[in-house]
Amino acid sequence: METNKAIDPESELGKKATALLNAAYDYWEIYQKELGCAAVIWLEADNGHFILFTRSEYKDEILRSASIECRGEPVMFSPFGSE
């Protein structure tokens, strides 16, 4: 996993990040089966919380569009096992 801030994958934050990605991927798989293929899936709650799930090839363009910059050294680990 990569994020805009270095986090320990074994910390509470790292474990929550892994759980969030796993849940998003599970949702994406069911979405694909029930509603058909989509490169980008997003959810917005009534309280304004927003999640966008897509393939990593769109990451740079999305982050540039949102004016997101890396703060610190990113950390990488795979929440889905060895990839």
pLDDT for 10 equals 92
**Separation CA 55–CA 45 (nearest Å):** 22
* pLDDT of the chain, 83 residues: tens digit per residue: 677 677 888 999 999 999 999 999 999 999 999 998 888 899 999 999 999 998 888 888 887 787 765 555 554 444 444 44
pLDDT for 16 equals 93
Is the separation of the CB atoms in 16 and 79 below 8 Å? no
Is the separation of the CB atoms in 2 and 74 below 8 Å? yes
Sole residue written with tokens 């050294």: 73
- Quick check: pTM over 0.75? no
| Extents of the domains making up the chain | 12-65
Phi, psi for 58 (deg, rounded to 5): -95, -5
